[in-house]
Amino acid sequence: MDTTHDGRPRRNEFRRGDARRPTLTAALCAIAGVLFGSGVHASGLRSGPAAVDQQRLANADEDPGQWMSYGRTWSEQRFSPLTQIDDTNVGRLGLAWYADLNTYRGVDATPLEIDGVLYNVSAWDVTTAYDATTGKVLWTYDPKVPLKWARLACCGPVSRGLAAWNGKIFVAALDGRLIALDARTGKPVWITQTLVPGQPLSVTGAPRVADGLVVIGNGGGDFGARGYISAYDAQTGRQVWRFYIVPGDPAKGPDGAASDSVMPMAAKTWTGQWWKVGGGGNDWDTIVYDPRLDLVYFGTGNGSPHPQAFRSPGGGDNLFLCSIVAVSARTGRYVWHYQEIPGEEWDYDCTAPLMLADLEIGGRLRHVIMQAPKDGFFYVLDRATGKLLSAKAYVPNTWASRIDMRTGRPVIYPDAYVAVKPHLQTPSAGGGHNWNPMSFSPLTGLVYIPTMEQWMVVSELPKGQCQFVLGRSTLCAGVNNYPELRKRLNREAEARDKGYLLAWDPVHQREAFRIPYPHPGNGGTLVTAGNLLVEGTIERTLAIYRADNGRKLWEMPVESVPVAGPIAYSVRGKQYIAVNSGWNSAIVHGLTSGDRPFSVGPARLLVFTLDAKGVTLPPAPPVAAIPPPPATEEPVREVQAGATLYSIHCAVCHGQNAIGSGAKDLRHLGPQAHAAFDDIVLGGKLKQSGMEPFKGVLTKEQVEAIHAFVIARAQEDWQPDFLHPPKRK
């Protein structure tokens, strides 16, 4: 950990343990009313759509009715100072309005609300501005992302949010275009392509604005890409800097990027010819900005290929995989890093949300950055220096016993390393906490984490069997070796799933309370000064709890799972709570009960307020029965070949071991889909739904092998007791 930067961070307005609820004084309210009535904001910026600038966002707590950035403020605490809806009256909450998003795809986005306009982005980056009080559509922009890009996005054509600055709304499209829209009309002002040509990259994360620069990362570490993060001038779209996360081909010399000064240091931690398999490290989701230190922090992803032996055969830390990296916001130059998992090989990419806070630790006020990443440890670091202050497991953990506070490195169990022989491990690749936003209340001093306990079967392909193909999966996970052991371990993993909302004390690194759910898959959280804790649940409801003790106060069925982060805002003195409800088909075991699949309605944007009446959601479609699998006996060799091909080409979207959910679960195909399997995979029958054809990538014989594997998996997991799958010879 190194630093070349100093500065004095601004303290949060509300301290941990302060029992007072933040409110505007009467004088400030009067001043604000005069300013807004005259068309001028307190920052001095002329009012208008998306009138956000450095001063206004830095003083967001003085304008608590707005949600101007992904996490409301630059700290990304997702804490709303609003108190009109509180723990005494939330039972009066009703649905004020909703908007159909015209998709059954996942909707992961946190909306923005600025001066009475709500900005939202749905699947395929379709962006809409609404009147925040009525839901009236003001404009819609469709970037018309080519459907083939769904193949390069591991988790579907989702977007996690938008950014706003000086009258513009910024959309980071799946195909890499960064698009600045006029906030008044929805018309493009400028468009910049952020992706390096020839790389299997895509963008699903929300852009952030750091003092007039729009910062965005990308995904692709599962497909052989080299990760980087870039910043663009918000006014013109001109690229200002780029920081590569892993080193490139040494023979090609420097990249001409902000990362050039530290790439020689990073290269010393790699071995072999890593650049030929991409390296990975992609920052596909998390970015946070500290305006006082003028630093941009980002989390980095998994390696490519996943098992280290295939990308860096001599070992090494493989910088900057699975790290928190701090760079200068203006120049992109390296300031410090902290690597959470040296040589990461379990797909524990450290891209879960980052959060800034001021905490009193050991009698001293510390300006910290916090993260609860997939690896199951909760990290607290000094955000000026990167010094690790504490790290404790927040979920059960079998890969590392602890984090050594002297070295900052995990103490890894010897039998946790990836090998050809499978073993059972937790957290799973889905993590103890994934991308779903967590929140922090300065009033309770607690972080609220959407938490999962899931297990996974860990193994790698035998030496020589991991064949790198750019743009194809680089999981390199074993699928056929030790079949009986693998089957037993998979059954154990499926039976151990748990999900809960965890309230975590980051100062003392301990659990305060938890709210259990029947399965993992609950959504992002919001906490308010009204002592409210808001979360979408796997039971297809939106639920609200007391933030201080977790007692449920209110819940409403919403026909789908609100996996996204909720927001709170106020217009003309009336408070609202809004959330996107659109299940993203995450890998969750056990959702299907008997012969009934887990079923959801279409995705919608939902907006609630006190005493709202007369608006109801249409009923969800009826739950269909899971059709029985074909009774054919598939040849063992063909099934084994299909398992390998499935792992390479299909698992990233449809789940390892063919365990998906929702529309992605291939075990639940009906007779028509089985009959049309070749036409779907090779002929493009479902191209308009995002299933690009694999013609030219797979042969007919290979597709038949994959189909045989899918049928075999459906037979193995067919649940009705009266049907027993045929035994294979």
- Euclidean distance between CA atoms 602 and 566, whole angstroms: 18
CA distances 205 to 163, 283, 481, 558, Å, are 11, 9, 36, 25
Q: Give me 486's structure tokens.
A: 């693998």
pLDDT band of residue 634 (cuts 50, 70, 90) is confident
- Euclidean distance between CA atoms 127 and 603, whole angstroms: 14
List, in order, residues 6 or more apart from 386 with CB less than 8 Å away: 1, 2, 3, 324, 326, 335, 336, 337, 338
* pLDDT tens for each residue of 454-487: 999 999 988 888 888 898 888 898 888 898 999 8
Kindly tell me if the per-residue pLDDT of 651 is higher than 80: no
Q: Quickly list H helices, 427-471.
A: none
Mean pLDDT lowest among 229-233, 380-384, 493-497, 658-662: 658-662
User: Token match 């297809």: residue?
Assistant: 540
**703 SS3 class:** helix
Residue 536: predicted pLDDT:
98
Residue 48: predicted pLDDT:
85
Dihedral through CA 536, CA 540, CA 543, CA 549, nearest 10?
A: -80
Mean pLDDT lowest among 106-120, 205-219, 288-302, 591-605: 591-605
pLDDT band of residue 719 (cuts 50, 70, 90) is low
- Euclidean distance between CA atoms 284 and 241, whole angstroms: 18
* pLDDT tens for each residue of 8-42: 333 333 333 333 333 333 333 333 333 333 344 54
Q: Looking at the annotation, which residues are catalytic?
A: 347
pTM score, two decimals? 0.90
Residue 422 or 715, more confident: 422
User: What mean pLDDT comes out for the span 402-422?
Assistant: 97
User: What mean pLDDT comes out for the span 62-69?
Assistant: 97
Residue 260: predicted pLDDT:
98
229 and 242 Cβ atoms separated by less than 8 Å = yes
pLDDT band of residue 720 (cuts 50, 70, 90) is low
Q: Give me 316's structure tokens.
A: 């090494």
Kindly tell me if the per-residue pLDDT of 664 is higher than 90: no
* pLDDT tens for each residue of 237-269: 999 999 999 999 999 999 999 999 999 999 999
Q: Give me 588's structure tokens.
A: 């969750």
pLDDT band of residue 159 (cuts 50, 70, 90) is very high
Residue 356 or 669, more confident: 356
Kindly tell me if the per-residue pLDDT of 727 is higher than 60: no
State the DSSP H helix or E strand holding residue 491, giving kind and residue range, or none if neither.
helix 483-495
User: Token match 């579907």: residue?
Assistant: 156
The structural domains of the chain, ordered by start, are 90-610 (2.140.10.10), 636-717 (1.10.760.10)
User: What mean pLDDT comes out for the span 271-300?
Assistant: 96
* pLDDT tens for each residue of 476-523: 988 888 989 998 999 899 899 999 999 999 999 999 999 999 999 999
Mean pLDDT lowest among 146-150, 386-390, 607-611: 146-150
Kindly tell me if the per-residue pLDDT of 702 is higher than 60: yes
User: What mean pLDDT comes out for the span 308-336?
Assistant: 97
pLDDT band of residue 173 (cuts 50, 70, 90) is very high
Looking at residue 718, what DSSP letter applies? -
